[in-house]
Each structure stands twice: as C-alpha cells, then as structure tokens.
Chains A and B, each alone.
Chain A
C-alpha cells in the first residue's frame, strides 16, 4: 500500500490522542482494534493492513501540522478510513488482493482424526466460574432461544442488550482460550 510510519509521524499521531505517551499508546491500540473490527464487518480480508494505512495517513498529516481537536480525532480518522476503504474496493476490482488465511484457523486434522475444537471448548469452559458457565450454556441451549433468553433477562432483571454483552464477554474468554489451544 504505502510507506510505513516514520518515528516523527508516529509521535505526531500519538500526540493527537493524548499528551501522556502511555495513555496515547493505549488509545492507539484501542482505535486500531476498532478499525480492524469495522473493516472486518465490511467484508475486508486484510483489515489489519487497512487499519495501519489509516494510521499512516493520519500520522503523516499530523506530522505536517494537521490540527485536530484532541477530543475529536475520531471523525477525522473515520473519514480517512472511509477513503482507504473506497480505494481498497477500487483496487480489488482491478486485481484480486491476496490475503493471509491467518494463523487463527489451523490446518485441519487428518481425515481419520476427530476435530478437537469441541474438546478445546469443553476444556476452556472450565476457566469460567460455575454460574458463568451455566449462564453461557443456557444462552445457547434452547431451540426457542428468544423466549429462553427473555426468561434469563427476567431472572437477572437486566435488559437484553446487557445480557448479550455479558454473554459476549464470557464467550470471548472461551474463544481466546480455544484460539490459544489451537495455536499450541
């Protein structure tokens, strides 16, 4: 795509987020994670690459003296992200862009060897507290899920969105653990 960030441009980028370098670095990671998520939701096969391209452009602009209100760099960043996405789409039409199939999904086991992912999930569920494990499995148990989840919300006295997020956090723990086991 384009050149990488120079030290000067990177420092200018961090300065957009916070005067405290450590806090700025945290913010950088947070925004990068979100950019990757947004590009993935748009169906991009190289989300990390595009996220870094966004930061490259914002960093160079910042090094050239771009002034953005410190509280509001997001609108600018999302605008740049939109342009990067449009360029990606145009490029994709002209030439298929190869993407890494990633190390997240390991090679499949030989045909006569059972897939071990279910066992990994079982093992990773042990990381959760018993009531957390029970809640997570209840969320996925029933064929009549809508009704079943409404019942859980009533029992816990929380709205559906809160339950969804609670489950998401629990499942993320399991997912990270499974991912780690697959890597090993």
Chain B
C-alpha cells in the first residue's frame, strides 16, 4: 500500500491495531512521513468541509474535531481559504439581490437556474395554452355583447390541476382576464407564522450528500431549531450550543441554553433570526454545559425558497 493511502486510512481510523502501531513508530521516526500525514489531515478536513467522506469517516473526523481545538482552527482556516478563493475567482459571477449572494459559476447554482428556466418554460407553454388567441378574444367579445343582449349561462374555466407547477406559473397565470379560482396554493403555504420550528436530531450521522434540508417559509422572522435530548443528556442543567455557517464562522453561541420540556422528553430550542440563515450549509455544535462534553454536531442545509 502506498504511503499516502496508508496515511489516509490511518487518519480515518481504518487501520488494524498492528498496522496502526507500525505506522505510528514510523511517524515518530520519519520527519517527512509525519509532514505528509499533517498535509493529508488537512486534505481530509477539506474533504469534510466540502461534504465529502462517508458517514462513518465523517463521524471519525467529528470526534477528532470535538477533542482538538487545533483541528477546529485548521478546519476554520481551510474553510476560510475556500471562501476567499471563491470570491477571487475571475470567472465567478455573483448575483446580489434580496436572496443574498449567489455564485452563478457554481455547478449547483447552474443546475438550479436550468431547472428554474425549465419550469418557467413549461409555465409559459401552459399559459399559452390557457390564454385565448386574438381571434378567440374577438370572438369572446362578440359573444359577450351577445350575452349583454341575451344572458347566457356563464362558462366556468377548467379547474387548476391540484399540483401547481410552481409559484412562477401562478404569477404568470394571474393576469389572465378571467382569474382562476383560488385553490389552497403554495402562495398560502409560503407565508408561515414566525417562529418556524425545525427539528434536528443530535445523534443522526448524516451522509455527505444529505444533511437535513430546511426550507424557511417566506415571511418567517425566526427559526426555532429544536434539538431533542436523550434521557441521559437531560440531566445537564444547561447546554452550550454554537451555530456555525459553512465556513465555520460562529453565528450564535449560547452558553446557557436550558432544556424545554415537550411531553415526556425535552428539547433544546435555539432561536435564530431567519436573516442569519441564507441558503447554505450550517452546523450546530452541542455540548453539555461546556466543550468538555460534546453531545453532537448535526448539520443542515438551508434551501433557497
């Protein structure tokens, strides 16, 4: 096995006890190998920050991060370098607006834009099919005049399909001369009363591609992040909770969070101003009373509305 593969396995906790002991003896002796291991660790932290590695490997990295302030600083610097590098990329295009800053050069953003264009295209076709042509309008006007003279039973437009294609389609459909009957639509669903409750399991180890998604409804002023506690953890009188963004920067640190009883169980509830949660990845570091007692580091992804 090549040294870099050996080091990678070692740093991800994947070596047997004997191989581990042999490698550690070499690491103490060989300065170059030790430096390679340090460099490899930084690359693994980068992969971790990018959402890579398997769930088990991520859990291993989390344990390391929980016990090593130096690794946390390293991760923070790596994330920061990534953020600065993205800012300074010449062909990067940033769209700024009420939605925040969106990097249009990122593949994910491009894919979202393509999907949005597709939805708009489908919506436009649907609208074109629903809107009468000019000769039809003329014919309708003539018929309308006839109705004034001789009232006819009113023609009811077809009901909208139960699954509305998208809010964009609704917006385009509204200016039609004959307003469609208002069904319980997404428009109603997007305005939710604040605070908006979002539950995040402390114990769940999430895969690299699937942190829990948070859709913040339009108009939400506050998101309450609920962190259900296990029976053992409830005993702690207070908790330390830190909310971080994707570059590891602290957004909120609460040192005195107390459990809130919810039936037989108890939750920690972290109130977060919705403005602090633009689209992106976040993590919540949860400790019992102090950083000596890490309880979990769940992640979530805020999805663009």
Which A residues are within 8 Å of any B CB, using their own CB? 30-31, 34-35, 37-38, 40-41, 43-45, 47, 74-75, 77-79, 81-82, 96, 98-99, 101-102, 104-105, 108-109, 111, 114-115, 117-118, 121-122, 125, 136-141, 143, 145, 160-161, 164-165, 167-168, 171, 174-175, 178-179, 182
Contacts and interface: CB of A to CB of B under 8 A. Distances in A.
Contacts of B76: 117
B24 A43 contact: no
Contact of B31 (A30, A41, A164): A30
A111 B73 contact: no
Contacts of B10: 41
B24 A78 contact: yes
B249 A43 contact: no
Contact of B4 (A30, A104, A109, A161): A161
A140 B77 contact: no
Given A81-B28, A99-B292, A121-B84, A168 B77 contact: no
A37 B38 contact: yes
Q: Nearest 5 pairs between A and B by C-beta?
A: A168-B39, A115-B249, A141-B85, A74-B29, A78-B25
B81 A45 contact: no
B81 A136 contact: yes
A164 B77 contact: no
A122 B84 contact: yes
Contacts of B42: 164, 167-168, 171
B41 A41 contact: yes
A116 B150 CA distance: 76
Contacts of B84: 118, 121-122, 125, 137
Given A43-B64, A78-B21, A117-B80, A98 B11 contact: no
Given A41-B41, A104-B69, A115-B250, A168 B28 contact: no
Given A122-B84, A141-B85, 4 more contacts: A37-B38, A38-B24, A167-B39, A168-B38
A44 B106 CA distance: 38
Given A41-B10, A111-B253, A171-B78, A138 B85 contact: yes
Query: Interface extent on B, as a size class?
Result: 35 or more
A102 B24 CA distance: 25
Query: DSSP majority for the B interface?
Result: helix
A179 B24 contact: no
A126 B247 CA distance: 20
Contact of B21 (A82, A145, A175): A82
Nearest to A99: B292
B73 A104 contact: yes
B272 to A, nearest CB: 10
Interface in B58-92: 63-64, 67-74, 76-78, 80-86, 88-89
Contacts of A175: 73-74, 77
B28 A121 contact: no
Contact of B71 (A40, A79, A145, A171): A40
The listed residue with most B CB atoms (<10 A of its CB), out of A43, A114, A122, is A43
B250 A165 contact: no
B176 interface: no
B70 to A, nearest CB: 6
Interface in B1-36: 3-4, 10-11, 21, 24-25, 27-29, 31, 34-36
Contacts of B35: 165, 168
B34 A37 contact: yes
B82 to A, nearest CB: 4
Contacts of A122: 84
Contacts of A82: 21, 24
A175 B63 CA distance: 21
B28 A140 contact: no
Contacts of B251: 111, 115
B249 A137 contact: no
